[in-house]
Structure 1
């Protein structure tokens, strides 16, 4: 009899949990293993949302599940794997049980720095594939769950696309990343205008430097291939600046708060730009003539071509 009672109690507890979870607002967030993505997932769970978060490794899925609890559902897929993305959307649809998804946050991304004339085609292509094509693939797979599928019940969801300052300002040595993020800006604007027809909104978040583990990784960026080239010193100056600047700026939790606002406010802006030192890092670079910005950056990093002698060599 005791065993039967215990089984009944456990069943009742599971039913209560399932009922509560089904009543939660839901969001899919890509790239939640660390940094901004993890902060978004944590904040949305604390805000009472059910979070479906993508990671690429089972070990990360297990760790996040243990840390964030029952309101977090790990999805193991790479945004560059079309079949895996579609499979994840099918799994989320089953969990939603006929209701719409409230939000999709396209956060997953990578940055591989190098001078453009030295960077391999493979590394350039990888950044476009992950940061832009992957965002398109995820959006296309999950858009029906946000309300593009009229068979689902519930309010229309929102799409939040993570861009960057690099989506408006192209820094040296991050050309592939900037190209992808410029693409994210155009993709998002076009998508928002198209989705007016179905009532799904699209919001861009374009943060400046954020204090994440990416800056620790930057110290290990290989640069031996630049030894003896014209790019060696400017690249090192750039890397040193990014590491120093990146560790003392926005906390990832701040970006999480902006994402929460984009998902929950009644009338979100089309674009949010949480940028530290906004005058120097955003307002001036986007309002000054581009040639002026070229010279300022060139002097700062040693990218200005020096005076030449008669035989063409720099003095």
Structure 2
């Protein structure tokens, strides 16, 4: 039986950790990227031989090339079964008050990162002649924000919209090699990020016109985060995307699906603008 190996970026916490748990439980070997040696040791202890740590930063080209070389050496001529581009960050704040460097950092991690990682691992997925086995699949972890744009997350929204557009083009280009590209777009997920939300630097926007609105918006995000999906539920969807015979091109994994996904996509944009404006206090009276 052909063994299956998958690379998961950003495996140390949150969604990446949930994906790693699910895949290893299903008998798939995970090469999980982390930035800290301590995280590599912790995950190795947790998952044993089913997990191989890769010390890698998605913004560091040298570490990406080194990680790809390590996976290639481990696989030999066998194709990599899958690549899950999960690593990412969310930069919050009103766009008029963000620094240009903050937007650049957001795009560097959430868009350029997956682009660079995909280029490095594509040969192992089947874009290189002479490899053995079925071509692999690429799963891009996007967000509901890749389709529906909330306020004060404009930089993050931009990165996910761009990731989805790039992924659609990539999926068509990789038809040449039989490599599929699938988007998984989660809604709110229960992760440690919500424990840190109140300690974030959004307070620096307090002196702006948006100050009182952002305070309420932050509290709303924290409450929603506590009602979110588990990281493992995202892992289940990733497993489906990697293994089902005919995967969808996009999976939306969203709590309260009708309210948070179906309805916003059916209503006119101007209606959504007014609803958000009224709920948040953004609508000028």
Q: What is aligned with 2:4?
A: 25
Moved more, 282-291 or 218-227: 218-227
Aligned match of 1:274 in 212, 236, 253? 253
Equivalent pairs, count = 285
Correspondence for 2:147: 168
Question: In 2, distance between residues paired with 1:34 and 1:92?
Answer: 21
1:59 aligns to 2:31 (yes or no): no
- SS of the residue corresponding to residue 182 of structure 1 reads helix
Distance 1:31 1:88 in 2: 13
User: Which of 193, 202, 207 is the equivalent residue of 1:214?
Assistant: 193
Q: Distance in 2 between matches of 1:97 and 1:109?
A: 29
Q: Which residue of 2 aligns with 1:310?
A: none
Partner of 2:77: 98
> Can you list the C-alpha shifts for 1:103-139, whole angstroms capped at 9, x where unaligned?
0000000002111111111111111000000000000
Aligned positions of 1:240-259 closer than 5 A = 240-259=219-238
SS at match of 2:53: strand
Larger relative contact order (Cα-Cα within 8 Å, sequence gap ≥ 6): 2
CA RMSD of aligned residues (A): 1.1
The alignment's TM-score, normalised by the length of structure 1, stands at 0.89
**1:127 matched residue in structure 2:** 106
**Aligned residue number for residue 166 of structure 2:** 187
Give CA deviations for 1:225-248 in whole Å, capped at 9, x if unaligned.
222321111111111111100111
Contact kept, 8 Å, 2:21 with 2:232, in 1: the verdict is: no
TM-score by length of 2: 0.98
Q: Secondary structure at the match of 1:145?
A: helix
Query: C-alpha separation between the residues in 1 aligned to 2:164 and 2:203?
Result: 33
In structure 2, what is the Cα distance between the partners aligned to 1:217 and 1:24?
39
**Structure number, greater radius of gyration:** 1
The partner residue of 2:216 within 237, 249, 252 is: 237
Per-residue deviation, 1:71: 1.5
- Report if the CA contact (8 A) 2:7-2:32 is conserved: yes
**Corresponding residue for residue 6 of structure 1:** none
